Amino acid sequence: MTIADTSSSARPDHTVFSRIGRAFRQVPFSVGFGIVWLAGMVLVAIFADQIRPYGITAMDLRSRLALPGTFPHVLGTDELGRDVLSRLIQSIRMSLVIAFGATIISAVFGTTLGFLAAKFRGVVEHLVLVLADFQAALPFLIMSIAILAFFGSSMSLLIVLMGFYGWERYARIARGLAISASAQGYAASVVQLGATPMRVYLKHILPNVASTLIVSMTLTFPEIILMESGLSFLGLGVQPPETSLGNMVGFGREYLTRAPWIMLAPSLVIMLTTLSISLVGDWLRDKLDPTLR
Amino acid sequence: MMVRFILTRLFRAFITILAVITFAFVVLRMSGDPAQVMLGPDAPNETVLAFRATWGLDQPIWVQYAAYIKSIFSGDFGVSMRDKASAIHLVIERIPATLQLTIPALLLKLAIGIPAGVYAALHRQSIIDRGVIFGAVLGFTIPSFVMGLLLVLLFSIILGVLPSGGQDTWQHGILPTLTMAIGGIGILARFSRSAMIEVMGQPFIRTASAKGLKWKDVVWSHALPNAAVPIVTIVGFMVGSLIAGAVVVESIFSWPGIGRLLVVSVTNRDLAVVQCILLVVAATMVVSNLVVDLLYGWLDPRLRSQSAH
């Protein structure tokens, strides 16, 4: 998708400015936008407490359903007079924390299972593959809804649940790559030198397959954001008084006619964030792993 | 060879269904003592014991598990705690409503997504190609609940031309069907495009063009059949996850299908119905995977020998 501009004639100027300029020009505009937006979101999530103008449950009963663009509520207020901007900032933090946590859990969990399958083969491998088949056979949304139905929704359950999202993808990739890596000279030679399996897998095989795994993480991350916001939208994810992006859209839906801004602000953030991640992810994929498309 | 291929696939499908049933059993038992759930926390001890004896809950867990599997395979899916009706009947009743949305949506995805993707692949860097890429990215990044609400905002509230919820007339089906279709069109277009680009770069296409075949023949009889395998994969996945996609859309548009039944049952903790829907969803997914696997064997003879062992 990214187009490298190779046609421009290479002029021999070596000033610092031109080199910086060229480095910038190599990043397409859309990717640059994605990076800036994501950096902004991360900053908002980290400094949420400092930049939030009001508390997320603070009600301003005299200005309920206030229009956006009015002082003192820049993005307006909701049905209880709560500041939409403040809730949006808190929601960004919540959704990003869940997505980051879950992406890391699922990458570690899936990669570990994949490596175990590659190491022990036989029964262990079959077990992992059957589990992966099972995970692929049951759409994740339906599985999460069922689990939340049986256990009731709670914050820790939600993060653990999201941490299972996409593990089977890492497991399959890690298993395949580890099997082909152990057939290569470098893995065999460290085994010959007496390295423990732990050392072989973590110090030698993992660094060699890391780029592919990182690429899958950029695919999983936006999907987890969408999954969590979908569940929260249905009222099964993050529970009030806490708030997440999907949660805000869900509540905003009730006021679609009278106050569409409650729903539009978080929707826009969800769209731009997933868009940025997939733009940057595509670009990273081209840079890190030319074999993948 | 073919028989063995089919048997292996059927066996794997069976194992997967068994795994889903086991999952439902484990989760159901982990979430609490059924006797306590049914009778409430204040039930006298004798009643609880009697209840356990009647339902076999005093048996060892593996006996219960065997009994559970047996009842599922003999068609007994339990009784809805809310309506006291058979859970499977409640679910079957809702299937037509879901199909009314999902089948037109699926047809739209196929009829627009695949041609758009193939056209874009054959006319790279054209305006249509860029449009397809842009549309695909948008379709991929806008979640269906946002898409649904945006459509309601535009067509029901601002323009006032289409109803925003319910199932009274055929017009009520338009917005939910569109909501379901738009994202899928984007994904399918993107997939078809990259599958087609991949195939068009292969040496056999060059050979076919070099030996003087007409462009149309190269595309229709050499490129498209080879691009079909990855496209069939993604279509199979879409068919398998139709119900999952219906959950959010039916909730937005108050459409009385399986998806809405699932959300309502979860809110009421009507576990028999939830478990029943779980099995229906898994069965849909497994059957469509099975069909895709068989189609592979038919589309690409090489895969037959590879995956039979």
CATH code at position B100: 1.10.3720.10
Q: What is the count of residue pairs from A and B with beta carbons less than 8 Å apart? A: 125
CB atoms A222 and B141 under 8 Å: yes
Residue B38 pLDDT greater than 70, yes or no: no
DSSP assignment letter at A202: I
- Identify whether B109 is part of a domain: yes
* Domain-embedded: residue B276: no
Contacts of B244 in chain A (CB under 8 A): 139-142
Q: Report residue B145 CA to chain centroid gap.
A: 17
Q: Is the CB of residue B292 less than 8 Å away from at least one CB of chain A?
A: no
- Looking at residue A22, its pLDDT comes to 64
Share of chain A residues as helix, strand and coil, in percent rounded to the nearest 5: 70, 0, 30
* Cα–Cα distance for residue pair B19/B244, rounded to 1 Å: 19
Q: Residue A117's pLDDT is what?
A: 87
pLDDT of residue A106: 92
Cα distance from N-terminal residue to C-terminal residue, chain B: 10
Q: Which residues of chain A are within 8 Å of residue B275 when distances are taken between CB atoms?
A: 146
Q: Look at residues A138, A154, A149, A157 and name the one whose alpha carbon lies nearest to residue B271.
A: A149
Mean pLDDT of chain B: 81
Rounded to the nearest 10°, the torsion over CA A200, A204, A210, A212 is -90
* Facing residue for A150 by CB, picked from B16, B198, B271: B271
Nearest to A150 among B31, B143, B241 (CB): B31
Evaluate whether residue B308 is within a structural domain: no
Whether B67 and B161 share a structural domain: no
**Segment B84-112 mean pLDDT:** 88
Q: Which two tokens stand for residue B249?
A: 């859309």
B2 domain-assigned: no
Q: What is the pLDDT of residues B103-126, one digit of tens each?
A: 999 999 999 989 998 888 888 888
Distance of CA B250 to the CA centre of its chain: 14
**DSSP helix/strand/coil, B64:** helix
Q: Looking at CA atoms only, how far is residue B157 from chain A in angstroms?
A: 7
Question: Is B252 an 8 Å CB contact of chain A?
Answer: yes
**Residue B303 confidence (pLDDT):** 62
User: Do B106 and B184 fall within a single domain?
Assistant: yes
Enter the ipTM.
0.78
Of A134, A236, A274, the CB nearest to B141: A274
Judge if B156 and B67 occupy the same domain: no
Share of chain B above pLDDT 90, in %: 5
Interface of B with A in 135-194 (CB under 8 A): 137-138, 140-146, 149-150, 152-153, 157, 194
Do B174 and B210 lie in one domain? The reply is: yes
d(C-alpha A72, C-alpha A58), whole Å: 13
Same domain flag for B181 and B40: no
- From the list B133, B194, B266, which residue is nearest A293 (CB)? B194
- Give A62's DSSP letter: G
Q: Is residue B1 part of a domain?
A: no
DSSP B267-309: HHT-HHHHHHHHHHHHHHHHHHHHHHHHHHHHH-HHHHHHH--
Record: contact B141-A278, CB cut-off 8 A = yes
CA A31, CA A283: separation in Å to the nearest integer?
A: 7
The shortest CB-CB distance from A139 to any of B149, B274, B281 is to B281
* pLDDT 10s digits, B188-238: 888 888 888 888 888 888 888 888 888 788 888 888 888 888 888 888 888
Q: Is residue B162 part of a domain?
A: yes
Taking the Cβ of residue B108 and every Cβ of chain A, the question of whether any pair is shorter than 8 Å is answered with: no
Indicate the range of A35-44, A52-61, B59-68, B272-281 predicted with least confidence.
A52-61
If asked whether residues B105 and B165 sit together in one domain, one would say: yes
Judge if B38 and B156 occupy the same domain: no
Buried/exposed code over B103-128 (b: 16+ C-beta within 10 A; e: otherwise): ebbbebbbebbbebbbbbbbeeeeee
- Do the beta carbons of residue B202 and residue B226 sit within 8 Å? yes
Question: How many helical (H) and strand (E) elements, i.e. helices and strands, does chain B have?
Answer: 16, 0
Residues B235 and B139 in one domain: yes
Distance CA B213, CA B82 (A): 66
Compare B36 and A216 and report the one with higher pLDDT. Answer: A216
* Residue B266 at interface with chain A, using a CB cutoff of 8 Å: yes
Alpha-carbon distance of B298 to B217, in angstroms, equals 21
Domain assignment of residue B10, yes or no: no
Residues B137 and B223 in one domain: yes
Same domain, B66 and B112: no
- Kindly report the nearest CA distance between residue A271 and chain B, in angstroms: 5
- Same domain for B166 and B63: no
Closest to A209 measured CA to CA, from A288, A286, A287, A282: A288
CA distance B145 to chain A (A): 7
Domain containing B35 equals 16-73
For residue A16, the model assigns a pLDDT of: 65
Contact, B69 vs B28, CB < 8 A?
no
- Check pLDDT > 90 for residue B242: no
The tens place of each residue's pLDDT in chain A, 293 residues long, gives: 444 444 444 455 556 666 666 666 677 788 888 899 999 898 888 887 777 777 777 777 666 676 676 767 667 777 777 778 888 888 899 899 889 899 999 999 999 998 888 888 778 888 888 888 788 778 888 888 888 877 877 888 888 888 888 888 888 888 888 888 777 778 778 888 887 888 888 888 888 788 788 878 888 888 888 888 888 888 888 887 788 888 888 888 888 888 888 888 889 999 899 888 888 887 877 776 555 44
Domain count, chain B: 2
The whole-angstrom distance between B275's CA and the closest CA on chain A is 7
Q: Quote the radius of gyration of chain A (alpha carbons, Å).
A: 23
Q: Which residue among A146, A234, A235 places its CB closest to the CB of B278?
A: A146
Q: Do B20 and A260 touch (CB under 8 A)?
A: no
Chain A neighbors of B285, CB-CB under 8 A:
137-139
What pLDDT score does B308 carry?
Answer: 42
- Please, which residues 30-89 of chain B have a Cβ atom closer than 8 Å to chain A? 30-31
Percent of chain B at pLDDT > 70 equals 91
Q: Which residue has the higher pLDDT, B33 or B4?
A: B4
- Are residues B167 and B37 located together in one domain of the fold? no
Residue B3 within any structural domain of the chain: no
Q: How far is B281 from chain A (nearest CA, A)?
A: 7
| A289/B162 Cα distance (integer angstroms) | 47
Q: What pLDDT digit, counting tens, does each position of B150-195 carry?
A: 888 888 888 877 777 777 777 788 889 988 898 888 888 888 888 8
